[in-house]
Amino acid sequence: MEPSQYIRFQRKNFGKSGSLATLFFCSVLFLLGVVGIVVDWKSGGTAAILVVLLYLLQRGHSTKRLLWLVGLAVFALYLISCVLPVDLLIAFVTALFLPFGFFLRSALKAYRAIHTVDVFYWDNKQLHCLVMLNDSDYKGYALNPEAYRKTYRSDQVTAVKVLKNNLLISVGDLLIRPLELTKDEVASVLDFVQRQFPQLLSQEAVLEAKIDEENRRYKQKIIPMVPIVLVAVLIYFFADNGRNQPLTYAGLALMLALPVVITILSRKK
């Protein structure tokens, strides 16, 4: 049998935990809105009527129109609270949380849906994989991992390497690490590259240069924080936790100056 011209790994019901989290948060926030109605039915009921009217008026219209309607609704709540015995705070909180009920149906549908997702796909034309490009992407990835599915052209890939059972791929100016791959799947990808793109395995210099650049950027982020931690410790122990004002002010001055100096010096290197 002729070897396959592509490699694919799929997951059934991938991202189910993220859908469950979305459903949970929508339910809890909607229930908080319902609590507002129970606590004060006049204030909560007024807010509920405004939310329903807002929903009906904004359907099929632009975001700009929605923002105008929200502003008018808030102003209307204020005017109503001036005329009728309506608690503005309870009405506002109720109006803030009740709209999450409109998302419950779609969130429940997304949770119940059974679908298969390509966590990795590569052929002669395209590479699809799950990638986090920023350190701050972890929370978003946990809630909606499919949003981090990236597509690259195969001719953009310049090097491939396996490091500690993790797949490293150089794509253009980026160094990416495809997620959700098991040890055996990484080995299969390596075998696929050896058959289809053997030249990518001999580009060690390209990968090393990108790894060094990545490490340098991490150092630039971390090193300026070290003096802040050290000075904070010095103030606590040697400045009597801030009671010795001259030492404390000197420490604060160092805390502000050292990160700037270190950042400037690191960029000159």
Where does 131-261 show beta strands of DSSP type E?
149-153, 157-163, 166-171, 174-176
Note down the domain range covering 39: 17-109
Residue 1 located in a structural domain: no
Residue 3 located in a structural domain: no
Which of 61, 83, 109 is a domain's end point? 109
pTM assigned to the model: 0.59
Say whether both 162 and 87 belong to one domain: no
pLDDT band at 268 (very low <50, low <70, confident <90, very high): low
Tell me how many domains the chain contains: 3
Say whether both 23 and 103 belong to one domain: yes
**Whole-number pLDDT of residue 117:** 81
From CA 51, how far away is CA 30, in angstroms rounded?
Answer: 12
Task: Tell me the pLDDT tens digit for each residue of 146-196.
Answer: 788 899 999 999 999 988 888 999 998 889 999 989 999 999 999 999 999
Which of 203, 232, 247 is a domain's end point? 203
Q: Residue 82: helix, strand or coil by DSSP? A: helix
From CA 104, how far away is CA 231, in angstroms rounded?
Answer: 49
CATH number at residue 187: 2.30.29
**Whole-number pLDDT of residue 9:** 92
Residue 10 located in a structural domain: no
- Contact criterion met (CB below 8 Å) for 154 and 46: no
Say whether both 27 and 87 belong to one domain: yes
Task: Tell me the pLDDT tens digit for each residue of 123-143.
Answer: 999 999 999 887 777 777 777
Of the chain, the end-to-end C-alpha distance in Å amounts to: 55
66, burial (CB in 10 Å: exposed 0-12, middle 13-18, buried 19+): middle
From CA 51, how far away is CA 97, in angstroms rounded?
Answer: 10
Q: Which of 127, 147, 129 is nearest to 137 (CA)?
A: 147
Task: Tell me the pLDDT tens digit for each residue of 211-232.
Answer: 888 877 777 777 767 777 777 7
- Contact criterion met (CB below 8 Å) for 236 and 263: no
